Amino acid sequence: MTTRAEFVARIRGEMARAAALFPAAPAERPARPRERLDVLRRELSERWPQTLDRFRVEFERVGGVFHRVASAAEVPALLERLCRERHARSVVTWAAPALGVDVAPALEAAGIGVETMPHGVPQDAERERLRERVARADVGVTGADLAIGETGTLVLRAAAGRPRTTSLLPPCHVAVFDRGALVETLEQVGIALEAWHDGPPAPGRGAVINFITGPSRTADIELTLTRGVHGPKEVHAVFVDEGLRVTDGE
């Protein structure tokens, strides 16, 4: 088996024999990414309505369904309506501290089963059960770290209490977000990514970041577009005007 040293040595050997095709440099990275991100956020907060408009256009263009509510208090009712429309019987959701709103009481009162994702990591048997529940759920409710105007994309960082499959296994995914998540361009996302990776990872941080641009799709058969292949068939983005009080610290 080739060792790391052998592999890299071979590469070095070829590099020594090679001529550069032309002078070239990688992209310039922000020197202090976290500061840069703070500055960016302040700038963006001044033009969030335009960014939101752009996001809505692009999100709808890729088949997302956009909603806007004045306050977090209106989110449960919206969810209840979505569930009723789809005859949804079970919902899986991130917990209230992760979402910034508690959706469970209202849904349960409406007779819809709700499974809330735990913050800690339970024993194997419980994890199995949770996975089953997520796999059989009709609707998955999450937050979103970023909403990208340029592309209509939601960015979700996995973390404690913010598992991956909530936005993947149920056929309907609902993401709630507020103006703090809005960014305009992919380039700005780059700044966020640099900042998020600057310094040691926070203890609750997960090992995956998902960019979600609309419902899952394929065009593998005659290039005919069909939605809802393995991932969700529907993606809803709910913008909360007054903001969400996310308190799980992730």
Residues 24-53, interacting with another protein (CB under 8 A): 24-30
Closest CA to 152 of 52, 49, 242, 75: 52
**Binding test (CB under 8 A) with another protein, winner from 31, 70, 125, 221:** 221
Residue 12: CB minimum distance to another protein, A: 5
**Residue 197 touching another protein (CB under 8 A):** yes
* Backbone dihedral angles phi then psi of residue 29, each to the nearest 5 degrees: -95, 155
**Residue 211 touching another protein (CB under 8 A):** yes
**Residue 164 touching another protein (CB under 8 A):** yes
Residue 69: CB minimum distance to another protein, A: 25
Contact between 212 and 235 under an 8 Å Cβ cutoff? The reply is yes
**Residue 98 touching another protein (CB under 8 A):** no
Q: To 10 degrees, the CA torsion angle through 75, 99, 142, 166?
A: -120
Residue 150: CB minimum distance to another protein, A: 7
**Binding test (CB under 8 A) with another protein, winner from 182, 232, 238, 246:** 232
**Residue 125 touching another protein (CB under 8 A):** no
Residue 127: CB minimum distance to another protein, A: 7
**Residue 62 touching another protein (CB under 8 A):** yes
Integer Cα distance of 141 and 170 in angstroms: 9
**Binding test (CB under 8 A) with another protein, winner from 97, 113, 118, 180:** 118
**Binding test (CB under 8 A) with another protein, winner from 47, 135, 241, 242:** 135
3-state secondary structure at position 56? helix
Q: To 10 degrees, the CA torsion angle through 64, 249, 95, 73?
A: -70
**Binding test (CB under 8 A) with another protein, winner from 100, 140, 163, 170:** 163
Q: Give kind and range of the element (H or E) at residue 67.
A: strand 65-69
Sheet hosting strand 139-142, strand order edge to edge: 65-69, 234-240, 172-177, 139-142, 90-93, 113-116
**Residue 75 touching another protein (CB under 8 A):** no
